[in-house]
Amino acid sequence: MRGSISSGSASITKRFLLYKHRLHIPNPVAPPSSRLCGSRAFSNHRDTLRSDLQNLHLDEALDLFTRMSHSRPLPSLGDFTRLLAAIAAMEEEEERYDVVVSLFDQMRRIGVSPLLYTCNIVINSLCQSSRTYYTAFAFLGKMLKLGFEPDLFTFTSLLGGLCNRNRVGDAVALFVKMVEIGCRPNVVTYTTLIHCLCKNRHVDHAVELFNQMERDGVRANVVTYNSLVKCLCDCGRWGHAALLLRDMMKRRISPNVITFSALIDAFAKAGKVLDAVELFDVMREMSIEPNVFTYNSLINGFCKHGRLEEAMRMFYLMERKGCVPDIVTYTTLIHGFCKSKRVEDGVRLFKEMSLKGLAANTVTYTVFIQGYCLVGKPDVAQEVFNQMGFSHNAPPDIRTYNVLLDGLCYNGKVEKALMIFEYMRKREMDVSIVTYTIVIQGMCKVGKVEDAFDLFCSLFSKGMKPNVVTYTTMITGFCRRGLIHEADALFRKMKEDGFLRNELSGEDTQVIVYIRCSLDLPYVDSYMSSVMIHGTRRWHLDSFVFVEDLFLSSRPIEEAVSISLSVAPENRMRLSRSEGAASTIERQQSKGETQKLSINSKFFSAKSRFVPSFTAVTEMNMS
């Protein structure tokens, strides 16, 4: 056991031995003739040990330990323990925990017997160090042999070590065990485990533990609440997170910038920008200064919804308040401008950012590639891409390649995209399903449906599984070529793979309805009725327009009317009617047989609305 603890890191041992060599100390036990000198040396450092430990550097602490260990009589256990605690608290020193373990072994060798408090410092150091977690439990066994019973601090340290290594099951088991033996957890113990559960997305278990904590009479603190608030926000449950904020304030637990920033970020991402701004105003009224993350969240919320002027106003406020914008701030704004096809405004911000000494990263350049493709300048986009290859700070990653491929396909340069795709495969790059989907879509766009399907089939031999976008892209390609039976077969395969159990987008639904309408009208009636009655899927508004147009082009008007009347009032589209069907619709309306319908017969044009759009795919790449 002693060997496992003293093994430490080689660098720590070497460092300690260098100190002994420098001080000409042949061994840790000083001869009798040197005891007086050692005592004086130690007494000269007693004031440092008692009052100036917080100002010590690690090298000075090692030097002090060496002098203490050769002083006669030896300093007290309390003095050694204080030094170990001081070293463990040196946050700027990455090696501090390994040093503590190494020095503890030195203490044992010179005859200094530890107390529980000393052992707890070592336990905590082992848990916080880079060593495997079981070394801490091995030391716990040694503690038990020495007659020390683990206390709350011991268990909390062990729990923290397990949580740091994401061993959630072991952490929960240890928590249950400590409760069983009568060790009552405190707020730190509960918060440590709650944070671990939140970090690993076990949000319901975290909430359950939080409630148990309240029932046990342990009062949560702001750190506990922050862990839960952030986790709930990350899981999209911002409503529950907002209730927690209200609960905090009701209990007079003051939220801090972390609490507000997590909620502001969640509201902004959910499209509730006004609510995010309201929270922003509340935190400022409470004299809580927003940080760069808070401002970035609001700027991102404005940009995602095209409110660029408001985003810039927030940017200027940020600067006035002395909060320095970072690369994320500028890249978010540049992305907003590029997405709105205002690339030149993005370039202006890029120049401003460079003048301030901020270096663009891979995401920044990728945003520009997307922007230039959106405004029809794929050649400029490829120039930006080529420049990235010469940059050590911003090399292109898989997202960059995906954005470029998608942009080239979007601008009709499919052959060039295929060349880049082949280059990626030859280089054995980590090509994702997103990459394959983009290429399949590009092939289908230029009529290479058979080649696209060959590539689609090759996914399975590569161990890759198509996602719902891959399926609907391929199905759409079949539909455009009039290969309805092939599309239907692929639809059935998609259903077997379980994709139809989840919510589908309007684009997916249009493809499915097209296939089923082309083959089997009764199936569509039952399929849509099931959706309406059970509410298992939220249909996109365009899906109903699609059904109306499809029926009106090939089916009696009564069938289209029956479908339209089944649409919930809040889901009815009110778009312009096509001239070819307007008179028929008006006759039906005059008879009171239908409500206002909308017509759009151009479903399989080159830019059909149910085809995954360039913007949609690039948004997926950037997220």
Q: Side chain identity at 332, as an amino acid letter?
A: T
**Residue 555: half-sphere exposure toward Cβ, Cα within 13 Å:** 19
Q: How far apart are CA 91 and CA 94, in angstroms?
A: 7
Mean confidence (pLDDT) of the chain: 77
| Max mean pLDDT range (42-46, 56-60, 124-128, 571-575) | 124-128
| Residue 94 CB contacts under 8 Å (≥ 6 apart), including other chains | none
| Residue 600 CB contacts under 8 Å (≥ 6 apart), including other chains | 545, 546, 549, 575, 578
Answer whether 52's CB lies under 8 Å from 10's CB. Answer: no
595's tokens: 């409500």
**Residue 551: half-sphere exposure toward Cβ, Cα within 13 Å:** 24
Distances (CA, A) of 5 to 131, 223, 346, 416: 10, 33, 56, 60
% of the chain residues with pLDDT over 90: 46
Residues 98-116: tens digit of each pLDDT: 888 888 888 888 887 888 9
Residues 408-447: tens digit of each pLDDT: 999 999 999 999 999 999 988 989 899 999 999 999 999 9
Residues 522-532: tens digit of each pLDDT: 444 454 554 44
Residue matched to tokens 């940017």: 315
Distances (CA, A) of 207 to 145, 212, 385: 38, 9, 46
| 3-class secondary structure, 131 | coil
Residues 4-34: tens digit of each pLDDT: 434 444 444 444 444 444 433 334 444 444 4
Q: How far apart are CA 104 and CA 84, in angstroms?
A: 8
End-to-end Cα separation, the chain, in angstroms: 48
Q: How is 48-60 classified by DSSP, letter by letter?
A: HHHH-GGG--HHH
User: What is the pLDDT, as a whole number, of residue 186?
Assistant: 95
Enumerate domains of the chain plus CATH numbers.
1-148 (no CATH), 326-412 (1.25.40.10)
Task: Detail the DSSP E strand segments found in 19-171.
Answer: none
Q: What are phi and psi of 41, to 5 degrees?
A: -60, -40
C-alpha closest to that of 226 among 205, 186, 199: 199
Distances (CA, A) of 275 to 27, 237, 280, 341: 68, 15, 9, 27
Weakest mean pLDDT among 43-57, 62-76, 368-382: 43-57
Question: What sign does the dihedral 566-571-573-574 (CA atoms) show?
Answer: positive
Answer whether 280's CB lies under 8 Å from 264's CB. Answer: yes
Report which of residues 97 and 15 the model is more confident about.
97
C-alpha closest to that of 70 among 24, 23, 28: 28
596's tokens: 């206002």
Residue 272: exposed, middle, or buried by beta-carbon count in 10 A (0-12, 13-18, 19+)? middle
Answer whether 260's CB lies under 8 Å from 292's CB. Answer: no
User: What is the pLDDT, as a whole number, of residue 508?
Assistant: 56
Indicate the pTM of the whole model: 0.71
